[in-house]
């Protein structure tokens, strides 16, 4: 049967997988499977797959289950679910039986959690709900016809995009005894007692010691973390809540702490730069004595970045670092984004780095097996929706290769024709190379010329690459040439490439966008008079910059954009700190304000003639909707054809990746309709 072009509503049939975890005996991989039901709802449940591809469903139903973790002996699976009125950690025996709730925490949010190596304890982060937002409080107000009360805020860290407004509530660390349900606490009485709560932001990375007697915990040491330079430190916390700080560690960002198998070392991902709050420098892998001292940088001699994320709308964004000790303690595995690919790498304790996999793919690693030979992973390509896999040694080569275990989207790929990207490299300014991809329209015929779209990624410190992008495929099926690139500011091409626009947007990145534009105009299959530009977040910023500086594009779409750096400095969930990433600050001197205004696309909008669609979510706390409002107002006041689509406050900055399915489809419809109007 001939294949058909992809449609927007094919999104509803995609099976999304994530969070792969290899069982202690290495025989199967636990993972989350997410689908979309006929009630416009994402349904997430736990499954496992053995090495022969046989799938077992561990949970079912619409309440959702995720974060599955094997107990150290493999007899139990812990997971988080809202089977009761609020999220709790549940335990499910693997030899049969019903899941039972382990915790009975109040309404709130459970964050990261980990089994102790002896299986006796579970440590977890928990943040209690704002009292006024509990179900009981809401019901009481309804009964008394009372208004929604104000949120009372005393600290600048009071909201996070996708998380909402939490005011002064903070995550705290707890440890619960699995057999008894009693908590380790300072009081030691087994009640619901907090083990540790020293972070002013409630942001923790933690790991158990091999003897299960204490935790290594990373959090900021700053009293004003949103204003001061990065200064994460490591504490050791025992099971009665006594903590002591490791001495000798430098300032800077730190995370993903991992205790070595012999208990002598701690590994973490981070950097020592105190003036890089947005991570333009490479994230490196460090080890330090578990007793403190000077850390050793294992990866800084090379140009790899442990936090280079490859973007897609069919997998989690994943901006953090992923690393695991080898079971014998001789080194660590980590994930690296490089030139549009995501690969598995390892580093020895004497700082020898090996890239263990190769190919045009994205690998998302989970944990490593007890024998150190296999790792759980997700695996995808530009034409393959991610599936669950293991990465294992290839016989006789010394390399490691992914083995795909699941086939949830095989029917999708059998039925639907997709466009395969072709990569290209261009010479840009200052001797720099620009890496990009082009997707021809479905049904492409020579020598016909087609309308073309330039997609610009967000971040800006991330990368496009060899990952399946539903949106791009929909546009190719609609008859467009789709072009996407990694201009300077992108990760995956070394620190200098990323840092080229640090605090200086609209410069070298704009050079690279112009390079891509000229290339598009000279391709025999692209109609130079029928080109459009679009992007989200920083991609929306750059779309705004493009239309304020040239007329090469006949239509534009500015999605969840940044337009005014002066107002952005104070209304984002991550406010600018003075002379951190950007020079100056919006409430500083006139010269400081001028520097931010120079980098604001809205400052150049007197030049705009390009018809523009503005897409924004009212619940976007990263790039406030007023950024899009300013764009729409300026265009309307100047008589430039424009349209403003505002999605409700229940959506957030990441709506294109994880928003309600019907609204994701609506957004895609708006994009295609707008481009068709002006380019066809």
409: region left, alpha or beta (phi > 0 left; psi from -120 to 50 alpha): alpha
Q: Answer positive or negative: Cα dihedral of 649, 650, 655, 661.
A: negative
Contact between residue 172 and residue 125 where contact means Cβ atoms under 8 Å apart: yes
CA distance 449 to 447: 7
Phi, psi torsion values for 385, nearest 5 degrees: -65, 140
Active site (annotated) includes residue 653: yes
Token couple for 604: 């150049």
CA distance 400 to 511: 38
Contact between residue 486 and residue 435 where contact means Cβ atoms under 8 Å apart: yes
Which residues, 6+ apart, have CB-to-CB distance to 427 below 8 Å?
A: 433, 434, 515
The alpha helices in 372-424, defined as continuous H runs, are 410-415
Q: Which residue out of 537, 567, 617, 656 is catalytically annotated? A: 537
Q: Which residue out of 65, 90, 653, 656 is catalytically annotated? A: 653
β-pair partners for 76? 93
- CA-CA distances (angstroms) from residue 413 to 14, 58, 421, 467? 10, 26, 16, 15
Residue 289, classified by CB atoms within 10 Å of its CB into exposed (0-12), middle (13-18) or buried (19+), is: middle
Local structure of 364: helix, strand or coil? strand
CA distance 326 to 402: 18
Residue 615 is inside which H or E element, if any?
strand 612-617
Local structure of 125: helix, strand or coil? strand
Residue 308, classified by CB atoms within 10 Å of its CB into exposed (0-12), middle (13-18) or buried (19+), is: buried
Token couple for 511: 């050079």
- CA-CA distances (angstroms) from residue 502 to 275, 304, 488, 505? 11, 18, 10, 7
Q: Are strands 450-456 and 481-486 parallel, antiparallel or unpaired?
A: parallel
528: region left, alpha or beta (phi > 0 left; psi from -120 to 50 alpha): alpha
- CA-CA distances (angstroms) from residue 169 to 43, 73, 225, 573? 28, 35, 16, 15
Active site (annotated) includes residue 537: yes
Which residues, 6+ apart, have CB-to-CB distance to 158 below 8 Å?
A: 151, 165, 166, 167, 168
Tokens 């007197």 belong to: 606
CA distance 540 to 135: 37
Contact between residue 272 and residue 283 where contact means Cβ atoms under 8 Å apart: no
CA distance 31 to 41: 19
CA distance 340 to 552: 27
- Look at residues 557, 461, 466 and name the one whose alpha carbon lies nearest to residue 509: 461
Contact between residue 235 and residue 217 where contact means Cβ atoms under 8 Å apart: yes
Which residues, 6+ apart, have CB-to-CB distance to 589 below 8 Å?
A: none
- Look at residues 471, 472, 511 and name the one whose alpha carbon lies nearest to residue 489: 511
Q: Answer positive or negative: Cα dihedral of 659, 661, 666, 669.
A: positive
Q: Report which DSSP code applies to 103.
A: -
Cis status of the peptide bond prior to 447, with omega within 30 of 0? yes
Token couple for 346: 């390892």
Q: Which residues are catalytic?
A: 537, 653
């Amino acid at each position: 049967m001939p294949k058909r072009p992809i449609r927007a509503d094919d999104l509803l049939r995609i099976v999304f997988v994530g969070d792969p975890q290899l069982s202690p005996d290495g025989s199967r991989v636990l993972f989350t499977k997410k689908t979309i039901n006929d009630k416009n709802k994402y349904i997430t449940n736990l499954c496992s797959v053995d090495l022969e591809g046989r799938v077992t469903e561990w949970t079912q139903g619409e309440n959702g289950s995720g974060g599955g973790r094997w107990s150290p002996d493999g007899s139990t699976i812990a997971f988080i679910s809202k089977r009761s009125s609020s999220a709790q950690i549940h335990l499910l025996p693997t030899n049969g039986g019903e899941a039972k709730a382990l915790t009975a925490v109040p309404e709130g949010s459970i964050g990261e959690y980990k089994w102790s190596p002896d299986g006796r304890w579970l440590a977890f982060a928990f943040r209690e709900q704002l009292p006024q937002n509990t179900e009981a409080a809401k019901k009481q107000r309804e009964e008394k016809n009372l208004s929604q009360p104000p949120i009372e805020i005393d600290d600048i860290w009071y909201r996070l995009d996708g998380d909402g407004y939490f005011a002064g509530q903070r995550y705290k660390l707890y440890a619960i005894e699995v057999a008894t349900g009693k908590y380790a606490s300072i009081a030691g009485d087994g009640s619901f007692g907090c083990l540790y709560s020293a972070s002013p932001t409630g942001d923790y990375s933690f790991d158990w010691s091999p003897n299960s007697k204490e935790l290594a915990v990373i959090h900021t040491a700053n009293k004003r973390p949103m204003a001061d330079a990065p200064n994460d430190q490591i504490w050791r916390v025992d099971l009665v809540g006594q903590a002591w700080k490791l001495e000798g560690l430098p300032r800077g960002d730190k995370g993903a702490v991992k205790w070595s198998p012999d208990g002598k070392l701690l590994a973490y991902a981070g950097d020592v730069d105190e003036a890089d709050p947005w991570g333009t420098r490479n994230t490196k892998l460090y080890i330090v004595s578990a007793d403190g001292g000077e850390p050793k940088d294992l990866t800084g001699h090379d140009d790899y970045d442990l936090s280079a994320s490859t973007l897609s709308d069919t997998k989690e964004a994943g901006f953090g670092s992923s690393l695991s000790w080898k079971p014998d303690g001789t080194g660590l595995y980590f994930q690296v984004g490089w030139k549009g690919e995501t690969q598995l790498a390892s580093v020895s304790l004497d700082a020898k780095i090996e890239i263990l996999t190769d190919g045009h793919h994205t690998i998302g690693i989970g944990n490593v097996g007890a024998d150190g030979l296999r790792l759980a992973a997700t695996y995808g390509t530009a034409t393959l929706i991610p599936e669950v896999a293991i990465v294992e040694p290839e016989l006789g080569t010394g390399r490691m290769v992914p083995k795909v275990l699941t086939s949830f989207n095989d029917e999708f790929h059998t039925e639907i024709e997709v466009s395969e990207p072709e990569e290209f490299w261009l010479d840009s300014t200052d001797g720099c190379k620009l890496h990009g991809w082009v997707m021809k329209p479905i049904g492409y015929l020579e020598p016909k010329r087609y309308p073309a779209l330039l997609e610009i990624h967000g971040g800006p410190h991330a990368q496009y690459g060899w990952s399946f992008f539903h949106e791009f495929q929909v546009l190719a099926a609609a008859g467009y040439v789709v072009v996407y690139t990694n201009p300077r500011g992108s990760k995956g091409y070394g620190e200098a490439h990323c840092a080229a626009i640090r605090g200086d947007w609209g410069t070298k990145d704009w050079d690279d966008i112009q390079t891509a534009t000229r290339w598009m105009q000279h391709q025999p299959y692209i109609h130079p008079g029928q080109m459009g530009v679009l992007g989200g977040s920083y991609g929306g910023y750059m779309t705004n910059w493009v239309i304020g500086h040239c007329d090469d594009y006949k239509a534009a779409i500015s999605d969840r954009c940044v337009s005014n750096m002066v107002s952005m400095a104070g209304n984002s969930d991550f406010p600018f700190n003075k002379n951190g990433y950007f020079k100056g600050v919006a409430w500083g001197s006139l010269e400081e304000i001028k520097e931010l205004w120079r980098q604001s696309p809205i400052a150049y909008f007197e030049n705009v003639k390009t018809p523009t669609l503005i897409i924004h979510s009212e619940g976007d706390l990263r790039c406030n909707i007023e950024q899009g409002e300013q764009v729409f107002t300026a265009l309307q006041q100047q008589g430039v054809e424009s349209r403003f689509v505002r999605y409700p406050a229940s959506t957030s900055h990441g709506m294109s990746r994880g928003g309600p399915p019907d609204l994701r489809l609506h957004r895609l419809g708006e994009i295609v309709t707008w481009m068709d109007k002006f380019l066809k």
